Amino acid sequence: MADGTKHGLDGRLIAHRQLLSLVVAALAETPQGAPIRAFLEERSVFQGGEEDPGVLPSGAHAIELALADELRLIAERSQGSAAGV
């Protein structure tokens, strides 16, 4: 039975991130990797137009911030994997 707890979901997310980072790192060295690198670069920083960094994000913004953060983590990890870290 799948673990639907927060810890179970965190573990699944980490596993997906690790696997995806390895795939991105492998593809980054090929011509087909250029669109993937561009996608990660464009979307790893959320531009919400917020003036005050202390403002708590709304529901929609929270999702976009989490998405951008996850893409940033994948990009960073894939760069580390490509460098042999």
HEC string of the chain equals: CCCCCHHHHHHHHHHHHHHHHHHHHHHHCCCCHHHHHHHHHHHCCCCCCCCCCCCCCCHHHHHHHHHHHHHHHHHHHHHHHHCCC
Each residue of 11-62: pLDDT tens digit? 999 999 999 999 999 998 898 888 988 888 888 887 655 555 566 667 778 8
The pLDDT, as a whole number, for residue 21 is 92
pLDDT of 1 > 70? The answer is no
pLDDT of 85 > 60? The answer is no
Whole-angstrom Cα Rg for the chain: 15
Domain ranges of the chain: 6-47+56-82
> What is the pTM (predicted TM-score) of this model?
0.69
The pLDDT, as a whole number, for residue 57 is 61
Q: Tell me how crowded residue 57 is: count the other CB atoms within 10 A of its CB.
A: 14
The pLDDT, as a whole number, for residue 52 is 54
